[in-house]
Amino acid sequence: MKAGDYSIRRAGTENALVIRGNGSSALTLSGSVSGKAASATKLVFNKYGDQYFLAQVWVQGQEIGAQLPRTRIEKELISKASPDSVVIVAQK
């Protein structure tokens, strides 16, 4: 999806997310990733060159975040370069 403003919400089950914005929407299944409680609601992206891929969604105060699966294109880019992580603090 192109860069822009999006909303991310759970879709009925704990591991389903709906992403909406910029005139498009997507439904994805996610796994879970654990860590210390998030200090802020944030999105973590993997960056390959000038392309960004949403990797994780964390909600403030929660110790478990959503881990999104890698897309086919991201897997192809992984084979060519190692990712950089980019964190964006989300607005409610």
Contact 46, 80 (CB under 8 A): no
Whether residue 2 lies inside any domain: the answer is no
Whether residue 25 lies inside any domain: the answer is yes
Please determine, for residue 78, whether its predicted confidence score (pLDDT) is greater than 70. yes
Please determine, for residue 8, whether its predicted confidence score (pLDDT) is greater than 70. yes
Whether residue 15 lies inside any domain: the answer is yes
For 32-43, what is the mean pLDDT? 91
pLDDT the model gives residue 51: 86
Whether residue 1 lies inside any domain: the answer is no
Which residue in the block uniquely carries the two structure tokens 């992984």?
Answer: 78
Domain count, the chain: 1
Its domain, for residue 49, covers 7-89
Global pTM?
0.80
| Nearest partner of 40 among 23, 61, 19, 17, judged by Cα | 61
pLDDT the model gives residue 33: 93
pLDDT tens digits along 55-66: 999 999 999 999
Mean of all residue pLDDT scores within the chain: 86
